[in-house]
Amino acid sequence: MTTMYNYRRDINSYAIGLALPFADDGYQVEVKASNGANIPVPSNFKNWVAKIIPNPTAEIWVSDAAITLPTDNTPDVSRAQIIPPGGLYLSVSAGDTIYLATANTDYVGVSVSLYAISN
């Protein structure tokens, strides 16, 4: 089963529906400097919203391409971005892979929830 992202607008075009339910397509992963994580996006819907929430005490990077962090903690992928402590919402497509990396030497928890957008 897939959790749909029910994004709606009210009569004044203000965004509503941002309180998301628990996702059926979700991952709890742990990453550290020598061990990143690769999250596959399902292919049963074309478009998805990925909600990524890291442990707030860690610096986690996310990218849509394989990512490694050298000792200076600067990613080698130009499209990589740091995930703010409050989390990040990304638009992803079916078949994409979400790559997570950190320079932390201890494991850091990251929650990834995927919500399908009706086509």
Parallel, antiparallel, or unpaired for β 81-82 and 15-16?
unpaired
Residue labelled with tokens 């086509």 = 119
Q: What is the pLDDT of residues 18-48, one digit of tens each?
A: 667 788 899 999 998 888 899 999 999 999 9
Class of domain 24-117: mainly beta
Q: What is the pTM of this model?
A: 0.81
User: Phi-psi category of 59—alpha, beta or left, where left has phi over 0 and alpha has psi -120 to 50?
Assistant: beta
Looking at residue 40, its pLDDT comes to: 94
Question: Which residues are CB-contacts of 21 (< 8 A; sequence separation ≥ 6)?
Answer: 3
Looking at residue 46, its pLDDT comes to: 94
Q: What is the pLDDT of residues 45-104, one digit of tens each?
A: 999 999 999 988 888 989 888 776 666 666 666 778 889 988 999 999 999 999 998 888
Domain layout of the chain by residue ranges = 24-117
